[in-house]
Structures are given as structure tokens and as C-alpha cells.
Structure 1
Amino acid sequence: MTFQTPEASKHTSNRAAYAAFTADIERLCRTDPGSRAALRAGLRRDLNHPRTRAMHRLLTHRLPEGCDDKTAQAHYTVAALIAAQPRHAFAPDQEDDENTADEPGTMETPIPRKDGLDEEGIPPEPMPYGPSFGATLGHAVVAKGASMRMSAAESRINLLTRQSLRGIHLHLPGAVNQVRTTSATIAWGQLLADLVDWPYQSGRISRRWLQDFYRLTASADQD
């Protein structure tokens, strides 16, 4: 019998919590326009800004118990980004099917890793439950129809991966707006996980974003 280490169990629990949080925010935005407006008002705002006051009522009980300000800010930022999507993004046909939500086979399958330790001798990261934002930008470049120019996407990914904690929260909305003009989708749970870890693992997360981006755009025409 295989047992998870305490660290692996914690990562699994965190992934489930992040996915549940973002799904809950999407449902809230879909069913309550007033709440969506309140969350959207917090875009690019820190926790103490007057415009985030309405967010406290909506998000405080949804935050991880005892979380610090950096973790709370990550949740507030992602909630605001979700709420800032165009109204049609919350169409009724996105409503969860309660009859099939818990059926086998409906959950996302984690992407398996091929390696053991990385080149730095660090244990592998927990398996992602969605593509990184670097992969999202890559998909935006290679998307059929409306797509991002390679030069614009490359400038954006290079800007994002050089940011401090405050900077990444300020610059993400612009990048998300660019992605929305394409058919690329954003894995909100994975983005939340990366923002939570940014204060401690920004270098590693930035490397993964860059590698995912260039892996997908390797064959794209340079403009």
C-alpha cells in the first residue's frame, strides 16, 4: 500500500481547496451580479484599499483558516480577475450539473511527471491540476482565429516573470485581458496556487511559466 507523505498530502489538500474556491467564485459571479461588481472593484487593489471593503463580506469566510495577508491577497486578486470577465463568460450553460458532478471520470486528470528530482536536486512539484499562466499565454499565441502576436505575448511573459509580489498582482489584469481576446482558457485554480507560492518560489514558478510558454510557441511564426 502506498501512503502519501505529509507534504504531498498537504499539497493535495491545497489543490482541492484552490479549485473549490475558484469554482465557488465563478458560481457566485454567475448568480449574483451585485457580488460580481463588488469583487470586480477590487482589481489591482490591496487588502486595505477602501474599494476592497465590500469584498471582505464575500471572501473572508471563503479564505483558508488562519491564512496570512499574502495568501489572502492571492485569493482576492484571483476573485477580482474572475469577476472582471465579460458578462457572457458567466452564461447559464456553465452551471454545474449537480447530478454528474460527483460521478467517476468527471474530475480533471492530473498531468503525470516524467522525472524524479529536478536539475537542482529538488523533489518534483506537486502535479498541476491545470496549465500554468505561461502555458495559457502560449495557447493564446497558437490559438486558431483571434490570437496574440508572439512578440506581444513574449513581452508580457517576460514582464510578469520579473515581478515582485506586488508587481505580479498589478500586472496580471492586463495580461488576463489580452488572453481573453483569444480562445485560450485560464486555469484559475493553478493561477491561485502560483500566486500563493509567489512570495517563496517566484523563481521556480517564473521558470515553469517561461518553459511552458516557449514549449508551446516553439513552432509559432516570429513576427
Structure 2
Amino acid sequence: MTAESLPASPAPAVGAATPGPLERYEKFLRIVRKACSTPGGRAALRQGLADDLSSPWQLYMHLLPAGGIPAYAATREAERPYLLVACLYAVHDAPNPRTAKTTPSPAPKPADVRKNLGWSYARAATTGAMRQQNAADALSYLAQLDTEGLYRDLPGAISLLRSHRIPVQWPVLLRDLTRWPNWADDVRIDWVRAFHTPARSTEENTK
């Protein structure tokens, strides 16, 4: 077939929005928040972290009715980052559904792809929650891990950050975990850049 006979690629629809890098991950976090909106769902996801994701069917019992795990995560290994982030969110950030009606939480703001773990550790250093060198060492330790090591040690790292009220952008973390098996070096560089890039303004430092 000559170049002249190749079918032309369809033109993009006029005004069609290009999906953002976090769109699919934001969508999944909405599913997780829905699953956590019942006491049973929140408890099951919290227990999933304590069980090291060893009984995923119990997580599916609540995630599937809420919307499920995306079809493009078709294998058990591909679903793993989704389950881990769902459980981490349930433990650290999910509101108590028993009090949510009387004290509703503000709607979450869209995540920023630049606000990854490097950004979180930079926040920990600039707010005094961690010493600069300790934050750098903690980030470096996570960055050098392989996939199994990262899944083993990430929950403890997140727990320390959240205990100091350092924010974690869950859609960004999920994106990075899905990229880790094939593009770990790219994720590592993103983390280092975010850690060493000074905040652009005082306003960003307070968000």
C-alpha cells in the first residue's frame, strides 16, 4: 500500500477536550469516595490496608457497586495500585460517614500533576514537620525501591506524612504507582524535581 492510498486519519472533533493526565485517576478517586461513604465500605477499605491487600475480594464488594476499577486495569497486578490507593485514602482522608451529614467535608479540589510525593516531602520540610535532610533521605529511600519494596514501605511513609498533616494528592500518587513498573525512572525524576523546585508563591505553600 502506497502512502497515497493510506486512509486519512479522522480529524479531531472541533472543540473536543483533551483528557488531562489525571482524569482517569480523579474518576477512580470519586469511586473510592463513594465506596467510603458508608460505614461498611470505609471499614472494609481500611481493613484492606491492615491485611496488606491479601483479601481483595472484600474490597471489590464495595468498590464494584460504587463504580469499579477501570477496565484498562485488567490484570490483578494492574489493579494493585488502585487497591492500595483506595485503602490509603480510606485510612487517612475518608470522612467518617456517620458524621458526614452533620459536618460535611468540603469538595476536593482538582489534583495538580506536579504535586507528587516529592512535593509532599518538600512541604514537610518547609513547614518544619521534617528536617530538610530527613525529608530528602525519606524521598530518596522510596525512590530507590523496586515495585515490591515500594508497596511494602509506602504505607508507612504516607502514614508519617499524614500524621503531620502533610497533604497527599491521591490521584497523582495513583498515576505514579501505575507508571512505576515501566517508567520508574521518569517518576523518580518527577519526584526529585518537585522536591527541589521552590514554591512559586506563599499561596501555593499554604494549599
> 1:133-186: CA deviations, max 9, x gaps?
11111112112xx61222332221011101111111111111111111334211
How many residues matched?
179
Aligned counterparts, 1:42-61, within 5 A: 42-43=48-49, 49-50=54-55, 52-60=56-64, 61=67
TM-score by length of 2: 0.73
Q: Give, in whole Å, the separation in 1 of the partners of 2:131 and 2:157.
A: 13
Asked if the contact 2:111/2:171 (under 8 Å) is kept, the reply is no
SS in 1 for 2:92: coil
Structure 2 partner of 1:151: 133
Please, what TM-score do these two structures have when normalized by structure 1?
A: 0.68
> What is the CA–CA distance in structure 1 between the aligned matches of 2:29 and 2:57, rounded to whole Å?
20
Residue 45 of structure 2 aligns with which residue? 39
User: Is the 8 Å Cα contact of residues 147 and 181 (structure 1) preserved in structure 2?
Assistant: no
Larger radius of gyration: 2
Is 1:26 equivalent to 2:26 in the alignment? no
2:91 and 2:62 map into 1 onto residues whose CA distance is 15
The match for 1:75 among 79, 82, 85 is 82
Shift of 1:56: 2.1
Residues 1:43 and 1:189: Cα distance change in structure 2 (over 3 Å): same
Alignment deviations for residues 179-220 of structure 1 (CA, whole Å, 9 cap, x no partner) = 113342111111111111111100110111012112249xxx
Quick one: which amino acid aligns to residue 59 of structure 1? L
Q: Secondary structure at the match of 1:41?
A: helix
- The 8 Å contact of residues 139 and 216 in structure 1, kept in 2 or not, is answered as no
CA RMSD of aligned residues (A): 3.1
Give the conservation status (yes or no) of the 8 Å contact 2:35–2:62.
Answer: no
- Gapped regions of structure 2 (runs ≥ 5): 1-10, 200-207
> Which amino acid is the alignment partner of residue 41 of structure 1?
Q
Percent identity over paired residues: 24
Q: Which residue of 1 aligns with 2:125?
A: 141
SS of corresponding position for 1:184: coil
Q: 144, 151, 155: which one pairs with 1:162?
A: 144
Match of residue 93, structure 1, among 88, 101, 104: 104
Match of residue 124 from structure 1 = none
